[in-house]
Amino acid sequence: MNLKDQSKIQDVAIIMDGNGRWAKNRSRPRIWGHVRGASVVSKIAESASDLELNSLTLYAFSTENFSRPDQEVNFLFKLLDKFLIKEKQKILKNNIHFRVIGKFDFLSEKTLRKVRELEDLTKDNTGLKLRFAFGYGGRAEIVEACNTLISKNLKASEENISKHLYDEIINIDLLIRTGGDQRISNFLLWQSAYAELFFTNTFWPDFSSQEFQDILSQVSTRERRFGGIHTSSETEFQKENQTHL
């Protein structure tokens, strides 16, 4: 694969931040921001599917989010349940391969059943790989992978760790964060090693398909070198650097 092919944006991840502030600006409770945020999830997943991206991974609930008030935490669990009911047909119609990644066994049996059912129904779909990171932490994911290697008596190598992560998507091309903060917050630490980063001030409930497409176009023009350099040939390199070699 040449550098040009590698540069194509195919695997995208989003930290969907700013729901609370969006609601506060409208004198509404924080959870209203999450409700509006959930409808944006549906629109952006549809755009990602239309744009024929390989994958879209969304940070819906981090391990750190447990420190929020119980009511907000429980509301987010319910929102996931509702999302699974509401979006099921659209996910099936669009040939989307759906999975939840993380340690989410704290969810109710009822929700877990819906997750498993949708994962199972879509497992052979060949369209967009849509991932919900729920109960997800990047460090925990790497630690779990290492512990599995130890239990299997395998040595730690990049290849072996990659194979034992929660999911098959091991390289993210673009990581977007909405809401104005510029940090990664323990999201896809291994997978984002060479990701392009894009931070927007837009709060998640205001994030639109148009902005999503604009970000993709803008980032596609960035030169991605993956630690290499762009020279047309060995000979050209020698010519340019001759006096110092």
In this structure, are residues 33 and 25 in contact, taking their beta carbons and an 8 Å threshold? no
Q: How far apart are CA 128 and CA 51, in angstroms?
A: 9
- Does the annotation mark 105 as catalytic? no
Among 13, 14, 16, 107, binds ligand FPP (CB under 6 A): 16
Would you count residue 128 as binding ligand FPP (CB under 6 A)?
A: no
- Does the annotation mark 17 as catalytic? yes
Distance (Å) of CA 46 to CA 5, 43, 87, 206, 209: 24, 5, 11, 16, 9
Would you count residue 65 as binding ligand FPP (CB under 6 A)?
A: yes
Q: Which region, judged by CB under 6 A, interacts with ligand FPP, from 18-26, 116-124, 137-145, 163-171? A: 18-26
Would you count residue 98 as binding ligand FPP (CB under 6 A)?
A: no
Among 9, 38, 165, 219, binds ligand FPP (CB under 6 A): 38
Among 102, 135, 137, 179, binds ligand FPP (CB under 6 A): 179
Question: Which CB sits closer to ligand FPP, 164 or 187?
Answer: 187
What residue has token string 């902005």? 211
H/E stretch holding 80 reads: helix 70-93
Give me the long-range contacts of 195-198 (CB less than 8 A, separation at least 24). 195/13, 195/171, 196/9, 196/222, 196/224, 198/174
Which positions lie near ligand FPP, rule CB under 6 A? 16-21, 30, 34, 37-38, 41, 60, 65, 76, 79-80, 83, 179, 204
Annotated catalytic sites, by residue?
A: 17, 65
